Structure 1
Amino acid sequence: MAVQAVAVVVIRLLVILLLAGSTALHAAVLPQDRADLLYHSYQGGGVSIDGPALMLRKKAGQSVSLSAYHYVDTVSGASIDVQATASAYTETRRETRLGVDYLSGNSIISLNYAQSDENDYNAKSVSFGIAHDTFGGMTTLSLEAGLGDDTVGRNGDDSFREQVKRSNYKVGLTQVISSRWIAALNMQVDLDQGFLNNPYRSVRYIDSADPRGFAWQAEVYPNSRNTFALSLVNKWYLPYRAALSLNLRHYQDSWDIRAFDTELEYVHPLTERWILEAKLRWYSQSQAEFYRDLFDFASQQNFMARDKELSEFNNLTVGLGASYQLSRWSFWPTARPELNLQWDHIRFNYKNFRNVTITQTATGQEPLYRLDANVLRAFFSLYF
């Protein structure tokens, strides 16, 4: 009930800020016009995900900024879950987002729509938010509410069709503490209702009649999930144009998962054109209350899961990045082109999820699964 109460408070604050925005004395600023062309790639755990993305943001007059975003994912390979119970596959996901920001005094009102389509999953969402500057721009309060409607299918079974209803609420407070220190406190609540598990994933249970020593049955999840996240962001601007960021985040949900992560990032300008950045992130979580790697018998519980993302695990991310400001174009001198390259290496260590593809061991004694992944993002940005 506490999570729903937070959602009600956010909605009420949205209305209050919407009314206050029309009487502002200090003007906020719309986002800068820009275009971005991105290539992204994920390689790890037997899965390859890659594709392009295009984003465009442009002002329409002095008070309106429009944005559009299109993203394509091609997924191929087989994760450890798929290797255990099925075969490799290839699929494509396309996502489109449209948004409009309206400037009213010292408030920016935002409306966004998103839609993603796969051959077995379709999702639509809409969100409304407002960011309000006060105390001469030293303090910013932001609020957002969103609704989503997903349709879940299953390849090879045209009769399978399930729904998921989603709602999320965000509130954030950003404060300029000094000329070199900015801090932000953000809170998010998500309420999900419907078919929340993967229709292809299975759990395993002990079965002495099976030569492997275990058998499989479909996962069963609760039909609701409430989540709460609280994060603290600190940014320090150093004398030589460098910057240091420290982010702390706590997460908990109604499935009894508790998580904490911390991220340290450093940005260092080498020259007027070159900027380097490095980051280190640690994440750790507990398991869901209905998760087990190996159940004692079939249908042991009302809810049963073996998704490794619901197990107890941690991961460590090491990231490096570089950006280079290109020379301005003679035919468009007001535009500022820029190249960016970012690479992350992530190591996942699962504490109670075992690699069942290794068969020369006793049931339940397989080695714990470990995953190394590389994420690459290369993009060209144009500010104008």
Structure 2
Amino acid sequence: MKATLEALARVLGFGGMAAGTAHAVDLPPDHAEAMLHVYDGGGVRAAGPAVLIRKSLFNKVSLSATYYVDAVSNASIDVVTTASKYSETRQQLDLGIDYAVRDSLIHVSASSGKEPDYIAQTFGVDVSQEVFGGMTTVNLGFTEGHDAVGRKGEEGYFDHATHWQYRLGVTQILTPRWLASANFEALADEGFLGSPYRAARVFGAFVPEDVPRTRSGRAIKFRTLGDISDWFRGGSWGAGQRHSMHAEYRYFWDNWGIKAHTLEGGYSRYFGDKWLADSWLRFNRQSAALFYSDNAQVETLYITRNRQLGTFNSWSLGGRATYEYAKVPGRYDIKLSGSLEYVRFDYQDFTDFRTGKPYAFNGALLQLYLTANF
């Protein structure tokens, strides 16, 4: 039963390049993956490749490495109204070690990302413990990150920031076809948490933004996923094929006054033995920070016009198709996949100077994958 649910979890997005901590005591399979992504939306264009390689040793240890490149061309609303268009390249290297011991899986990770004016380094530890005969899995995790902040065209870095994240999660097998999870995160940030390029507006005049140097937040997420193939038995559509669905809800709040709700639902189906199709729909709603203002009419200690700290609604619709190109049981499995996601943002209290109306934009994200288990 556990093997069936683990396979289902991978189908619904728990595996792959963006996967979190693995479940129970099973090491992730030997795996190689290449990805190309292209994003275009809101005046921002980003494209680049990523490569992941994972290899097991002695059936107890699994090593992984990911290299990621992002070439960004930025002419977003912030840039075109207060600065000039720019382009830059971001590179990131992630390294990970998974170690299986008895009923536990220990995951240690480190990453380093570099931009012309920003360096980010993180270190994390996650522990997954199987209890109650494998019906329940408890996850604990911690990540610490250190950022060096600079300005493009200037040598050195003028400030720093430190980030901490604590994670606690429980995954429960409900039935042979369904599982559910609950996850809690506590976040804390200290240091320079704004942007050296962003301007705020006070009495119609542009001034450098000023945000607090500390921030703490909390997030809780509930998720359920299961095999719904039985629902289609005896019908004329999809009978005899495998079907699954997932649903999740996430609530975030912090001491800056931000509250955010995210709701997502998805459906997956096999078409024959070679094709797998996934689809999902996501909604998000966020309230503004206490010191956010489109055009402040009073002077305050802190002030920002960062639209990401304002009030907005967003939604996205995505789909992915995966084709099993070649498979030799016990030796290797090669798959090709592609996904396309459409996103829409509507800001309630951020004005586009060019139109005098609340700002909104559309975006699209394309991702192409080549994966192989061996």
Q: State the TM-score, normalizing by the size of structure 2.
A: 0.89
Gaps of 5+ in 1: 1-26, 207-213, 359-365
Q: For 1:108 and 1:327, how far apart are their aligned partners in 2?
A: 30
Which deviations, in whole Å up to 9, do the C-alpha atoms of 1:213-268 show, x marking residues without a partner? x3211000000010100000100211242110001000001100000010001001
Q: For 2:71 and 2:41, how far apart are their aligned partners in 1?
A: 14
Aligned-pair CA distance for 1:110? 1.1
Which deviations, in whole Å up to 9, do the C-alpha atoms of 1:20-46 show, x marking residues without a partner? xxxxxxx82101111000001110011
Q: For 2:143 and 2:157, how far apart are their aligned partners in 1?
A: 27
Corresponding residue for residue 3 of structure 1: none
Which deviations, in whole Å up to 9, do the C-alpha atoms of 1:259-301 show, x marking residues without a partner? 001000100111100011111100001000000001126xx11
Q: Kindly tell me: are residues 160 and 142 of structure 1, through their superposed partners in 2, closer, same or farther at Cα, counting changes over 3 Å?
A: closer
Corresponding residue for residue 310 of structure 1: 309
Q: For 2:301 and 2:154, how far apart are their aligned partners in 1?
A: 24
Q: Is the 8 A contact 1:283 1:316 kept in 2?
A: yes
Q: Is the 8 A contact 1:164 1:193 kept in 2?
A: yes
Aligned-pair CA distance for 1:159? 6.3
Aligned-pair CA distance for 1:333? 7.4
Which deviations, in whole Å up to 9, do the C-alpha atoms of 1:73-112 show, x marking residues without a partner? 0000311001011111000000000010110011001110
1:324 is aligned to 2:331: no
Q: For 2:209 and 2:122, how far apart are their aligned partners in 1?
A: 26
SS, match of residue 327 in structure 1? strand
SS, match of residue 133 in structure 2? coil
Aligned-pair CA distance for 1:336? 0.5
1:369 is aligned to 2:359: yes
SS, match of residue 220 in structure 1? coil
1:48 is aligned to 2:65: no
Aligned-pair CA distance for 1:122? 0.2
Q: For 1:333 and 1:149, how far apart are their aligned partners in 2?
A: 42
Match of 1:153 among 137, 150, 153: 150
Q: Is the 8 A contact 1:152 1:161 kept in 2?
A: yes
Q: Is the 8 A contact 2:148 2:157 kept in 1?
A: no
1:104 is aligned to 2:105: no
Report sequence identity in percent.
34
Aligned-pair CA distance for 1:186? 0.4
Q: Output the aligned Cα RMSD.
A: 1.3
Q: Is the 8 A contact 1:83 1:357 kept in 2?
A: no
Corresponding residue for residue 163 of structure 1: 160
Q: For 1:272 and 1:314, how far apart are their aligned partners in 2?
A: 39
Match of 2:59 among 58, 62, 85: 62
Aligned-pair CA distance for 1:157? 3.3
Q: For 1:110 and 1:77, how far apart are their aligned partners in 2?
A: 35
Q: Is the 8 A contact 2:270 2:276 kept in 1?
A: yes
Amino acid of the structure 2 residue aligned with 1:322: A
SS, match of residue 158 in structure 1? coil
Which deviations, in whole Å up to 9, do the C-alpha atoms of 1:178-199 show, x marking residues without a partner? 0111000001111100000011
**Residues matched between the structures, number:** 340
Corresponding residue for residue 7 of structure 1: none
Structure 1 or 2, whichever has the larger Rg, is 1
Corresponding residue for residue 10 of structure 1: none
Which deviations, in whole Å up to 9, do the C-alpha atoms of 1:335-362 show, x marking residues without a partner? 100011111100101000010133xxxx
SS, match of residue 302 in structure 1? coil
Gaps of 5+ in 2: 1-23, 230-240
Q: For 2:152 and 2:116, how far apart are their aligned partners in 1?
A: 8
Q: Kindly tell me: are residues 337 and 189 of structure 1, through their superposed partners in 2, closer, same or farther at Cα, counting changes over 3 Å?
A: same
Q: For 2:265 and 2:330, how far apart are their aligned partners in 1?
A: 36
Match of 2:334 among 334, 337, 340: 337
Aligned-pair CA distance for 1:376? 0.8
Corresponding residue for residue 92 of structure 1: 89
Amino acid of the structure 2 residue aligned with 1:228: R
Match of 1:236 among 205, 226, 229: 226
Q: For 2:212 and 2:127, how far apart are their aligned partners in 1?
A: 33
Corresponding residue for residue 76 of structure 2: 79
Corresponding residue for residue 128 of structure 1: 125
